[in-house]
Amino acid sequence: MSRNSFFILLLVIIGFSVVAYSFLGGFKKITIAEVENFSIKVIGKEVRGSTQGVDLNKQMYDIRKKLDEDKIEGVFTAIFEGNPDELDTITAFVGVVPKVTGHLPEGFSTKNIEAKKGIIGIMNSHVWVAPNPVEVNSQLMGFAKTKTLSSQDLIIEQYFASDSVVTTILVE
């Protein structure tokens, strides 16, 4: 293969990569807004342990599997007490915001959260190119600081689809 052919092939691959990255939403920014009277009801299970532990990952996988198998219906949601980016151990509640209220699946409980104010970050990019949670949380905390609001140490992540995630922090 000649040098020119290699260079052209390299440019085509780079061009394809940029188009794919863009198509997946890699260039989209996080939309951040302040919300009033935030309220959410989640059914799920509490998880305590290491941020790197298998318990959280296993619980998230189990809930996701139940959603995929239509054993439960709703929006996949994870609630973290404290910023998991800054802690060695976490307390989390993993479950769903149900579409319809009904009976709780075995082993599940309900968590209700209400706040007068929250800061939401909306991401519409595929998980492969979406900003990582550390960056999202940092942007939301920064936005709260510019509005002179203090965080309540609760982070709520809702996964509406593989390319639509909403992160909320509660503020005072």
* Main-chain phi, psi angles of 101, to 5 degrees: -80, 135
Q: Which domains does the chain have, with CATH numbers?
A: 31-171 (3.20.80.10)
C-alpha–C-alpha distance, residues 45 and 108, integer Å: 5
Return the percentage of the chain with pLDDT > 70, whole number: 94
- pLDDT score, position 51: 63
How does the average pLDDT of the chain come out, rounded?
84
Tokens at 150, concatenated: 């203090």
Distance, in Å, from the CA atom of 110 to the CA atom of 41, rounded to the nearest integer, reads 7
Tell me the whole-structure pTM to 2 decimals: 0.81
From 71, 118, 119, 129, select the one nearest 95 (Cα to Cα): 71
- CA-CA distance, 79 to 166, in Å (whole number)? 12
| Region for residue 14 given its phi and psi (left: phi exceeds 0; alpha: psi -120 to 50; beta: otherwise) | alpha
**Structure confidence at residue 131 (pLDDT):** 77
C-alpha–C-alpha distance, residues 147 and 151, integer Å: 11
pLDDT band per the 50, 70, 90 thresholds, residue 53: low
The mean pLDDT value for 23-43 works out to 87
Q: How much is the average pLDDT of 20-42?
A: 86
Average pLDDT over residues 101-106: 75
* Band (85; pLDDT cuts 50, 70, 90): low
What is the enclosing helix (H) or strand (E) of 165? strand 164-171
Q: Give the pLDDT mean for 65-83.
A: 84
Tell me: pLDDT of 137 over 60: yes
Does position 87 have pLDDT exceeding 80, yes or no? no
What integer is the mean pLDDT of 91-107? 82
Query: Tens digits of per-residue pLDDT, 160-171?
Result: 877 788 889 998
> Average of pLDDT values for 128-144?
83
Q: What pLDDT is recorded for position 89?
A: 77
